[in-house]
Amino acid sequence: MKKYEEYRNCRYCERSNEVMDDDNVLCDKKGIVARDYVCGGFRLDLMKLDPAGRTVPVGEVSFGEDVSDL
């Protein structure tokens, strides 16, 4: 878990859900809490992590074939 220690807050917990407020999340266990809060029931949800540096800018995708002649 040391690899993901920087993600140890309610923003990345399995039990949290985003709310309209930017500073809070809705926790299944504690209710509305701050995004950087951590309780004893924290469980990291890997699907909530942002993959750093893995986005492809629009217009720079190459499929290897020229389909403009079709």
Q: Which domain holds residue 34?
A: 2-39
Whole-number Å distance between alpha carbons of 8 and 3: 10
Q: What is the pTM of this model?
A: 0.62
Whole-number Å distance between alpha carbons of 41 and 30: 10
Is residue 35 situated within a structural domain?
yes
Q: What sign does the dihedral 2-48-14-36 (CA atoms) show?
A: positive
8-36: per-residue pLDDT in tens?
898 889 999 988 888 899 999 999 999 99
Number of domains comprising the chain: 1
Check pLDDT > 90 for residue 6: no
The reported pLDDT for the residue numbered 62 is 58
Check pLDDT > 90 for residue 3: no
CA dihedral defined by 45, 7, 50, 33, rounded to 10 degrees?
Answer: 70
